[in-house]
Structure 1
């Protein structure tokens, strides 16, 4: 492990992922953690962890970015004490919160919104990841709710400030970079000891586009998409069969037939 990115989501973590990948690092972001280590993280949140857990999980990984690793940055650093730490921040907490809210709203207005209900793989990821780190990191049962209904904005800003302050206070100063992606190549290249690339600095996930990119490209997302389509097809088939039965025998007869079947089943199982 060479780099631990300790910044909260929506502080330029996808841009930093791209930058580290440009430098040849093998990066584990939220999707890799969710899909490859979802069961490990589910156990970590429920039962606890040891240094050896993180040493095993990330022995062949160069950098970790985003949740849940940003929340566990200190524990991961104990497993890899030579790793450098990047605390990514926004220009202010209001900009961070607005960006986070927009990201959560984006989730409900694409295929991920349906996957939450119709993909078994997605629901497993929820149990292992989102529904565990949300209360621990943000003080909210499900961080996606901030895109759906009123929430305590001051609490979230407090969580953001407290996390950043904890990193600044506890990370070794000689291994810490406080970084805004608007600063471009120079600070991060100097910190990591790599030459500045002769290309424009990347800016990823503007407007929450990363969610759509994941759906379109990640192999596990493709699996969840297939599960979604199968669930939709099964639902449509059942609706079609029900509609056909109503058409053929009439609603009243269908209701009577259903009640007779229910009564027969009840009598059988209660005998």
Structure 2
């Protein structure tokens, strides 16, 4: 048995790690996640998982601090299995911040690099993620939901700023330059035979050949366009406002009812 096979045999993972999707945000990663699900890989870990499970934020922040700020012990196979042990695939942030570490930890996982024209990527990124993560736009909702959105938004901004720099002052030129730098770095350390570059709109063919899967009889998924992202963000904020209104109004209604009852007795 090879060393790599021994490591996977000793692993406490629930399922093997099979695919690492290392494309940057807004390069079709949501569509790729849906495609992988169609091909039998189940749910893929991505930023939405962290949003739905804010307790993950602390663990990912610890990994970020260790790698980028030399605070604490860098994550190894055991820590990655603790975070990602239920997933056969990983995509998007925060996972792509640890591309080299995940490639080393899971040597038999195949790498998919989703790509997109830099101009189109910037337009999509600017009109979706920069809007969603605007601190002024989300201020009230974050205050009303401190353990949910209040924890997630600063974390999501942090994951993007590691590659792109401060989001509040980012320029189109700097963003596209850093975006292209990220892709050059990935191409430099991933062996060509282990990686597939998949461009938005490409379809099933080369992907299925790379993964050794039959081509499904359904169209390649198209998920998470700009309208879907913003609508989802607005719905979440509305739910926060609705819950807050219920919490605030319930005591008022109760006190009003008690007051009216006392008044009626007095009359």
Distance 1:59 1:236, change over 3 A: closer
Matched length: 223
Write the deviation string for residues 15-63 of structure 1: whole angstroms up to 9, x where unpaired: 0010011112131121113444222112212244321211322222100
Task: Report SS of the residue matched to 2:141.
Answer: helix
1:95 maps to what in 2? 120
TM-score of the aligned structures, taking structure 2 as reference length: 0.74
1:23 maps to what in 2? 39
Distance 1:67 1:208, change over 3 A: farther
Distance 1:5 1:211, change over 3 A: farther
Distance 1:210 1:25, change over 3 A: farther
Distance 1:64 1:171, change over 3 A: same
How far apart are residue 11 of structure 1 and its match?
0.2
Distance 1:59 1:79, change over 3 A: same
1:191 pairs with 2:210: yes
Alignment of 1:1-271 (within 5 A): 1-26=17-42, 27-36=44-53, 37-48=56-67, 49-51=74-76, 52-90=78-116, 92-104=117-129, 107=132, 113=138, 115-120=141-146, 121-127=148-154, 129-140=155-166, 143=167, 145=168, 151-213=170-232, 227-232=240-245
Distance 1:124 1:12, change over 3 A: same
1:268 maps to what in 2? none
CA distance in 1, matches of 2:45, 2:82: 14
How far apart are residue 78 of structure 1 and its match?
1.4
Does the aligned pair in 2 maintain the 1:55–1:80 contact within 8 Å?
no
Write the deviation string for residues 45-95 of structure 1: whole angstroms up to 9, x where unpaired: 2244321211322222100111111221211111111111111111x2111
Q: Please give the root-mean-square deviation of Cα atoms over the aligned residues, in Å.
A: 2.9
How far apart are residue 235 of structure 1 and its match?
6.5
Task: Report SS of the residue matched to 1:135.
Answer: helix
How far apart are residue 210 of structure 1 and its match?
3.4
Task: Report SS of the residue matched to 2:113.
Answer: strand
Distance 1:56 1:215, change over 3 A: farther
How far apart are residue 97 of structure 1 and its match?
0.2
Gaps of 5+ in 1: 240-271
Does the aligned pair in 1 maintain the 2:23–2:113 contact within 8 Å?
yes
Distance 1:108 1:173, change over 3 A: closer
CA distance in 1, matches of 2:23, 2:208: 18
Distance 1:215 1:21, change over 3 A: farther
CA distance in 2, matches of 1:157, 1:66: 17
Structure label with greater radius of gyration: 1
How far apart are residue 131 of structure 1 and its match?
3.7
Structure in which a larger fraction of residues adopt helix: 1
CA distance in 1, matches of 2:251, 2:82: 46
2:261 maps to what in 1? none
Task: Report SS of the residue matched to 1:182.
Answer: coil
How far apart are residue 202 of structure 1 and its match?
1.4
CA distance in 1, matches of 2:63, 2:130: 28
